[in-house]
Amino acid sequence: MKEKATAGNGLLVFILTFGVFGILNTEMGVIGMLPLIAETFQVTVPQAGWVVTIFALMIAVCGPITPMLFARFNRKAVMLLTLGIFIASNVVSMLTESFTVLLVARAIPAIFHPVYVSMAFTVAAASVDKKDAPKAIAKVFIGVSAGMVLGVPAASFIASEASYAMAMLFFAAVNGFVFLATIFCIPSMPVRSGLSYGEQLRVLKKTVLWHSVSAVIFTNGTVFGFFSYLSNYLKSVTELPFTLISIMLFIYGAASIVGNILAGKLLAADARRTIRLTPFALAAVLMLLFALGDRLAPMLSIVTLFGILTGLANNNGQYMIANSALEAPEFANGLFLTSANSGTAIGTALCGIFISEMGIRYSVAGALICLMMATLAIFWATRSYTRPALPEKRLDLAESVN
């Protein structure tokens, strides 16, 4: 029975990973087809960019709220509700001729985005032994990275070769597959001892949680603040043609998946050391980016390392916030999503200021400022890390089926 439950848990984590891929695919996939959306709905490209902006804004606002609201409901039912909303929104996006309706169809699923992703982290961690929880969460993070790495080029290819509507159908199909897999392969997962909303909010009184939140905000400001301008950096500083830039961005994304896998092993072995050493590795890579940014051969290796560290930093951030609020895992994971999105916005703005005043090469300076703040917060957040803090519990599938 134990071997059967272990195999079932492996299938569960795989479905959650693919589900997160579908959710991120819907969120990020439209980035590569903004000109086509502008043409389809007869708006400008900056106006078309609102299909990305409104999604991100809703995640930032709803990140800690909606996971908390749904934390006491059957997790399978909530996941099916979220996937159903994503399928419906993609179908509406495919059929509508109104740009306003399109924006509404993008905003509604974004409200539920944190619900699914936070539950995926929580369920993945609870489905395995305590020592293996970081590895299970790392697998779910692969879905996040793959959604960003594969979603954008896949949607762009479908949209360019077929149409905008077919790209939306692709999003709906991916979510539809996960919807069916969830129905037939994931058992009912009732929450037997859910916390009240007040009990969940009580974790906000913990100082270590706010240190962890600060660490995530500034770490994301570091990696994604600079990443927002990476294509421009490669074009202007490294002087690469567009085709090579696309290849470099794909390498970065693929490397971040490697970072996710590596993070699972390193965090399980020694979380304190892993989390504390990551900012110093990031500092070294950023300084190499500044010093060797105009040389193609070194940049290939540097961008690969940057991608690996991005994946590692993502897992570190989730680990810190989750460990700071073990009693309210869904709320904590939602708070992680909000912190991550807020950090991206702050880092992008700060790097943008340096670009405006000093040029694209000095976007690295904005990232380094964020990194200094992140390092301080990380050392405060990890002071009590003397042993793995994840709860000793296992979600045996045979026991969770009603």
pLDDT digits (tens, 9 = 90+) for 226-240: 887 887 888 889 998
What tokens appear for 54 in the block? 């409104």
pLDDT at 60: 83
Distance CA 203, CA 221 (A): 24
Query: Among 87, 119, 94, 109, which Cα is nearest to 186's?
Result: 119
Structure tokens at 48: 């078309």
pLDDT category of residue 4 using cuts at 50, 70 and 90:
very low
Examine residue 401 and state whether it is found in any structural domain, yes or no.
no
- 116 in Cβ contact with 79 (< 8 Å): yes
The answer as to whether 387 is a domain residue is no
The pLDDT assigned to 387 comes to 53
Residue 320 lies in a domain: yes
Cα 75 to Cα 371: distance, rounded to the nearest angstrom: 36
Which of the residue ranges 126-130, 365-369, 390-394 has the most confident prediction, judged by mean pLDDT?
Answer: 365-369
Structure tokens at 17: 């990973």
Whole-angstrom Cα distance, residue 230 to residue 63? Answer: 26
**Which CA distances in Å does 12 have to 77, 116, 193, 259, 349?**
15, 14, 21, 22, 38
| CATH number of 246's domain | 1.20.1250.20
Does residue 86 lie in a domain region?
A: yes
3-state class (DSSP) for residue 44: coil
Residue 388 has pLDDT above 80, yes or no: no
pLDDT the model gives residue 155: 81
* Total number of domains constituting the chain: 1
In a domain, 48, yes or no: yes
Report DSSP state, residue 194: P
Residue 396 domain flag:
no
Residue 5 has pLDDT above 70, yes or no: no
The label of the residue with tokens 């390498």 reads: 251
Could you read off the pLDDT of 256-307 as tens digits, one per residue? 889 989 998 999 889 999 999 999 999 999 999 999 999 999 999 999 999 9
Q: What integer best gives the mean pLDDT of the chain?
A: 86
pLDDT band at 114 (very low <50, low <70, confident <90, very high): very high
Q: How many CB atoms lie within 10 A of CB 206?
A: 13
How many Cα atoms occupy the beta-carbon half-sphere of 24 within 13 Å? 23
Q: Are 134 and 319 in contact (CB under 8 A)?
A: yes
pTM to 2 decimal places: 0.78
Measured CA to CA, the distance from residue 199 to residue 280 in angstroms comes to 37
Say whether pLDDT at 3 is over 80.
Answer: no
Residue with tokens 């390392």: 305
Answer whether 308's CB lies under 8 Å from 258's CB: yes
Domain that holds residue 20: 2-381
In a domain, 334, yes or no: yes
**Residues 337, 378: Cα–Cα separation, whole Å:** 17
Q: What is the rounded distance in angstroms from the CA atom of residue 243 to the CA atom of residue 240?
A: 8
Q: What is the DSSP letter of 310?
A: H
CA dihedral over 73, 74, 77, 82, signed as positive or negative: positive
> Locate tokens 């680990």: which residue?
319
Residue 156 lies in a domain: yes
CB within 8 Å of 224: residues ≥ 6 apart: 310, 343, 344, 347, 348
Q: How far is it, in rounded angstroms, from Cα 225 to Cα 248?
A: 17
